Structure 1
Amino acid sequence: MSGRFEPKEPVTLEPPKNDPITVEELAKANGADGGKCYVAIKGKVYDVTGKPMYQPGGSYHVFAGKDASRALGKTSTKPEDVTPDWQDLEEKEKETLNDWITFFSKRYNVVGVVAGATNME
């Protein structure tokens, strides 16, 4: 299982940070104007800056600056699904969400946690 999530190119990650990031700060990190681009999953904030798919116009830009837990679990890019709420997902969707966490954790630095997040495990 661990092999299927390995990045194609080796990635050197920094130790994860637990710095609090407010929802407002997260929202500003949406990749606009070449700025920082973050995606949160279950309250952990990943730095996806410079990754074209998360930048404005990219296929996953809907996740930028937000906690996309529910959408990732549902494999959805619908804006209405991009919320931090994941606890009521079906078991299969929770497994999918956990797969996304594994995927992100092998590629992107954790730069903090969403301040006051109630969706962490």
Structure 2
Amino acid sequence: MAGKFEPKTPVNLDPPKDDPITLEELAKADGVNGGKCYVAIKGTVYDVTGNKAYQPGGSYHAFAGHDASRALGKVSTKAEDVKPEWHDLDDNQKSTLNDWVTFFSKRYNVVGKVVGATNTE
């Protein structure tokens, strides 16, 4: 299904950036006090600032300022699952994680890459 992950409203995205983002910089981008809100998946950092779900009090705020690869693969919002490690997930969970990558890439600007990420592929 080609349009499976297409947004309901078209999104004009900027060209993806590959700026280096340290874990410390990522952690600060948690949306607190109206600041930037980033979520990383497989080492790629997405700007989700405009989505209230990732802001403090939102249902996905646990992902803000983190690489949430494992949690997304497991379809979990538990803080203990919000980790970059995903290689030990089962095939179904890996497929789900890849679906999330597609979903995010169609909705949010890529602002950089996590410095030293070992979970990219």
- Which band: TM-score by shorter chain? over 0.9
Report the secondary structure of 1:14's partner residue: coil
How far is the alpha carbon of 1:2 from its aligned partner?
Answer: 2.8
1-structure distance, mates of 2:84, 2:32:
21
What RMSD over aligned residues (CA atoms) do the two structures have, in Å?
Answer: 0.5
Residue equivalent to 1:47: 47
Structure 2: gaps of 5 or more residues: none
Q: Give the corresponding residue for 1:110.
A: 110
2:16 counterpart letter in structure 1: P
Percent identical? 75
Q: Indicate the residue corresponding to 1:2 in structure 2.
A: 2
Equivalent residues in 2 for 1:73-88, closer than 5 Å: 73-88=73-88
Q: 1:53 Cα deviation (Å)? A: 0.2
Aligned length: 121
1:56-76, Cα deviation, whole Å (9 max, x unpaired) = 000000000000000000000
Q: TM-score, normalised by structure 1?
A: 0.99
Q: Structure 2 CA distance, aligned partners of 1:50 and 1:114?
A: 21
Gaps in structure 1 of 5+ consecutive residues: none
- Asked if residue 33 in structure 1 is aligned to residue 44 in structure 2, the reply is no
